[in-house]
Structure 1
Amino acid sequence: MKYLILIATFFTTFAMAQNKKVTSSTINWWGYKVAKTAASSHTGTIDLKSGYFVVKGKSVTGGSFVFDMNSLTSTDLSGGTLEKFNGHLKNGDFFETEKFPLASYVITSISKSNNAAFPFMINGNLTVKGITKKVSFPAKLTLGKVLTLESDKFSFNRQDFNVEYQSAMKDVVIKNDIDMKINLTAN
């Protein structure tokens, strides 16, 4: 009897939570020189390799997302300048994608925020270059047949993840903040 109760509890708990796989994503980033203006910035995208949300009842309670760092690309440059800049981002100057091809984000909690446009705060752990730090961002969450997450633009400090240009003088002219905006759809 004890084992039947344990099995029933396991299946009840399992049935209450389900994973919804991310089926489409748009992830944009912005990097800036010290004068944080549109004219002194670079913009780009990064692809999501995989991801899912954990849903219990009518609430999103968690999730995990893996970013393909080799997909990191600039959208404000073209031709040879684009190739050179993308190589610069991916080599030892910044993200070292050969050594660290993946980054990840794991949702640890979701809370309400006072922002009417983005009423939720997504709290979690971002891992870049093998370093994990807490990063939170405001978002809209919609849960129906399809689950959507749309973040407001948010920042994280690249220095926290050892994403730094190897020349100290040149790193001084680059703003520490990297801005991101994330849109995910899951079924």
Structure 2
Amino acid sequence: MRKTIKNLAIVALVAFTTLSFMAITAEKKEIKTDQSKLVWKGYKFTGSHDGTINIKSGSLTFEGDKLTGGEFVVDMPTLVSLDAQGGMKDRLEGHLKSEDFFGVDKYPTSTLVFKSIESTGKNTYTVTGDLTIKGITKPNTFKISVYGSKATANLKVDRTLYDIKFRSGSFFDNLQDQVIYDEFDLVADLQF
């Protein structure tokens, strides 16, 4: 009986020690919003416009050095144009914030929540996340790279999926050189 108890104690000790080394806990790393940058670029028949939007809050989750999650909130009223000047800048920013585009008075935030993450290399991942714009949530798949305390991600977003159809060639005929293309780019440079 004593030998059996001793053997069970040894097995329990070995199992506990093994599990304690195997258990990896998730670590949530908050995004430093004042050091991070979110750049947008939209395209039209006659050229493009670009600018920035502030990240209100965000985090990336890791197990060891492996990315396992992430979530972000974007402060839509902070959307600005970097390529336009003066009255053109004011008109463009006002139009992008209007109901024709992002409706920032009614929808002051957009969100991205990671749903699945696949490692594609030492520091690179393919992520599918739920992107919510104007209260509409759709999946978006994109690439993200993580190096130390920095990460970069590139997203292509089809605005028409979020009921942003102003001058879309997919919905309106005879726009000719007034067409605004459906997809826009988001590039995130993140510090955490």
- What is the TM-score with the length of structure 2 in the denominator? 0.77
2:10 is aligned to none
Q: Is the 8 Å Cα contact of residues 155 and 179 (structure 1) preserved in structure 2?
A: yes
SS at match of 1:122: strand
Give yes or no for the alignment of 1:180 onto 2:186. yes
State the shift of 1:155 in Å.
1.1
* One-letter amino acid of the structure 2 residue matched with residue 148 of structure 1: K
State the shift of 1:80 in Å.
1.2
State the shift of 1:165 in Å.
1.6
Q: Is the 8 Å Cα contact of residues 58 and 71 (structure 2) preserved in structure 1?
A: yes
State the shift of 1:173 in Å.
0.6
SS at match of 1:85: helix
Matches within 5 A, 1:40-59: 40-59=47-66
From 65, 68, 93, the equivalent of 1:86 is 93
Matches within 5 A, 1:29-48: 29-33=40-44, 35=45, 40-48=47-55
Q: Distance in 2 between matches of 1:149 and 1:98?
A: 30
Matches within 5 A, 1:24-173: 24-33=35-44, 35=45, 40-113=47-120, 119-143=124-148, 147-151=149-153, 153-165=154-166, 168=172, 173=179
Q: Distance in 1 between matches of 2:144 and 2:75?
A: 22
* One-letter amino acid of the structure 1 residue matched with residue 164 of structure 2: V
State the shift of 1:135 in Å.
0.6
- What is the TM-score with the length of structure 1 in the denominator? 0.79
State the shift of 1:18 in Å.
2.0
State the shift of 1:142 in Å.
2.1
* One-letter amino acid of the structure 1 residue matched with residue 67 of structure 2: V
Q: Distance in 1 between matches of 2:163 and 2:103?
A: 10
State the shift of 1:40 in Å.
0.6
Q: Distance in 2 between matches of 1:149 and 1:105?
A: 15
Higher CA-based Rg:
2
* One-letter amino acid of the structure 2 residue matched with residue 16 of structure 1: T
**Alignment deviations for residues 84-127 of structure 1 (CA, whole Å, 9 cap, x no partner):** 1100000111100000000000111221237x9x8321221100
Q: Which ranges of structure 2 fall in alignment gaps of 5 or more residues?
A: 1-19
**Alignment deviations for residues 7-44 of structure 1 (CA, whole Å, 9 cap, x no partner):** xxxxx9x98122111013111111111x3xxx610111
Q: Distance in 2 between matches of 1:158 and 1:31?
A: 10
Considering only aligned residues, what root-mean-square deviation do their CA atoms show, in Å?
Answer: 2.5
2:15 is aligned to none
State the shift of 1:180 in Å.
1.3
Q: Distance in 2 between matches of 1:25 and 1:132?
A: 24
State the shift of 1:166 in Å.
7.5
Q: Distance in 2 between matches of 1:128 and 1:80?
A: 27
1:5 is aligned to none
Q: Is the 8 Å Cα contact of residues 116 and 129 (structure 2) preserved in structure 1?
A: yes
